[in-house]
Amino acid sequence: MPCHTARVTSMGDAISSTLLDWYDKHARALPWRSPPGEALPDDDAWPYRVWLSEVMLQQTTVAAVKPYFEKFTRIWPSVKDLATAPEHEVMAAWAGLGYYSRARNLVKCAREVARRGGFPKTEAELRELPGLGTYTAAAIAAIAFDSRAVVVDANVERVVSRLFNITDPLPASRKAIKEKAATVTPEDRSGDFAQAMMDLGSSICTSKSPRCLLCPLQVNCEGLRAGEPERLPVKPPKKAKPERKGTAYWIERDEHVWLVTREGTGMLGGMRALPDDGWSAREDGSGKPPIAADWQDAGTVRHTFTHAHLALTVKYGRTVSVPDGKGDWWPVSEIEAAGLPTLFAKAARTVLSRG
């Protein structure tokens, strides 16, 4: 199943050792990393930290992840601690980081790992865990367990596309990229090699203006030789995001606000939220409030998701009754601790700064 059988070539050897030498000097110090060349201590704390960081880092910058990683490891120092945590507490702790299916799967995965008595060590077994796809399974196998695995993320796609001047557009070029990545991935230290590729991609071989003069792989780079490495990898054109409208409702009673938990696995699924009029990325909301009240307009929040723009009108009103459906009265003074995703945190701020 894993297609990393390609033999390391002598050119591949030269590239991997050059990059590892560079990494030994320039590796970033990150909370989930051991120093370059040092294997992680053989206890369950490190696979946990590698797994947690890798999931947080999916489509997310290092800068955004750092404070969340610190918070999670402080509250839940081991995978066992996380496995016994109530799901809503984990969701609340994840609030603001985005892609909330990651948090839902994080809990499932932690419970599965705890049930098994620890993380599996092979790439294939890791791949079976919730939230671990091709990339993350390979990354954990290589980084946490020092197994030889070919790790391909967006950085590696960029570096490899340039290194081998792969000019076919993504995603069709993925197979060729993986094959080329396999030829430069060493048998030993493939975890450090993966992290070296990612550091190189984030600091030198950047998307817009690569710093080729500083690159340790400069002399090996066919894309540079061809003249326009910054054009690689070629990507498909983006689709326009639709503009959506919706309304959220701040229902207050006795210094408490009515919060609901969003159902399902769709947008913001599982997250605490203000009740709204049913807007989605596919259609505008109905504009119908959940209860009758003397609604006041608090303003409009603009927010952009991966695949839609949203203009969310925020209305507030008081009630003496309890709205239909499930929900909780949350103390207004502690709204910061409610674990609202960013959209609704903005909405709350809008109300509280005017209301």
Q: Which residues are catalytic?
A: 54
Among 78, 134, 165, 167, indicate the residue that binds DNA (CB under 7 A).
134
Q: Where are the alpha helices (DSSP H) in the chain?
A: 10-26, 45-56, 62-75, 79-83, 87-94, 101-116, 123-127, 134-145, 154-163, 174-184, 190-203, 222-226, 342-354
- 296 vs 342 by CB, closer to DNA: 342
In angstroms, what CA-CA distances link 137 with 36, 125, 229, 264? 21, 8, 29, 26
Segment lying near DNA (by CB under 7 A), choices 6-14, 71-79, 312-320, 335-343: 335-343
Query: Is 263 a binder of DNA (CB under 7 A)?
Result: no
Among 25, 74, 115, 238, indicate the residue that binds DNA (CB under 7 A).
238
Residue type, 178: K
Query: Is 20 a binder of DNA (CB under 7 A)?
Result: no
Strands 243-253, 309-318: pairing kind: parallel
Among 84, 265, 321, 333, indicate the residue that binds DNA (CB under 7 A).
265
* Residue 319 Cβ vs DNA, minimum distance, rounded to whole Å: 26
* Total chain residues near DNA (CB under 7 A): 61
- 97 vs 298 by CB, closer to DNA: 97
315, β-bridge pairs: 249, 297
Which residues between 275 and 334 bind DNA (CB under 7 A)?
A: 280-282, 303-307
Structure tokens at 283: 């259609």
In angstroms, what CA-CA distances link 31 with 2, 67, 114, 171, 185? 29, 10, 23, 32, 24
DSSP string, 92-123: HHHTTS--THHHHHHHHHHHHHHHHTS---SH
Q: Judge residue 100's burial from the number of C-beta atoms within 10 Å of its C-beta, 0-12 exposed, 13-18 middle, 19 or more buried.
A: buried
Among 18, 122, 147, 202, indicate the residue that binds DNA (CB under 7 A).
202
Query: Is 136 a binder of DNA (CB under 7 A)?
Result: yes
CA–CA distance, 273 with 262 (Å, rounded to integer): 7
Which residues between 42 and 71 bind DNA (CB under 7 A)?
A: 53-54, 57-64
Which residues between 148 and 177 bind DNA (CB under 7 A)?
A: 153-155, 158, 171-172
Among 110, 251, 268, 298, indicate the residue that binds DNA (CB under 7 A).
268
Report phi then psi at 108, rounded to 5.
-55, -45
Segment lying near DNA (by CB under 7 A), choices 112-120, 220-228, 287-295, 338-346: 338-346
Please give the distance of CA 38 from its chain centroid, rounded to a whole number: 26
Query: Is 144 a binder of DNA (CB under 7 A)?
Result: no
* Residue 212 Cβ vs DNA, minimum distance, rounded to whole Å: 16
18, β-bridge pairs: none
Residue whose entry in the numeric block shows the structure tokens 């409702």: 249
* Residue 100 Cβ vs DNA, minimum distance, rounded to whole Å: 4
* Residue 318 Cβ vs DNA, minimum distance, rounded to whole Å: 27
- 133 vs 331 by CB, closer to DNA: 133
Site string for DNA, 73-112 (x = CB under 7 A): ----------------------xxxxxxx---x-------
- Whether the upstream peptide bond of residue 341 has omega within 30° of 0, thus cis, is no
Segment lying near DNA (by CB under 7 A), choices 14-22, 79-87, 183-191, 192-200: 192-200
Residues that bind DNA (CB under 7 A): 30, 33, 53-54, 57-64, 95-101, 105, 130-137, 139, 153-155, 158, 171-172, 195, 198-199, 201-202, 207-208, 235, 238-239, 265-269, 280-282, 303-307, 341-343
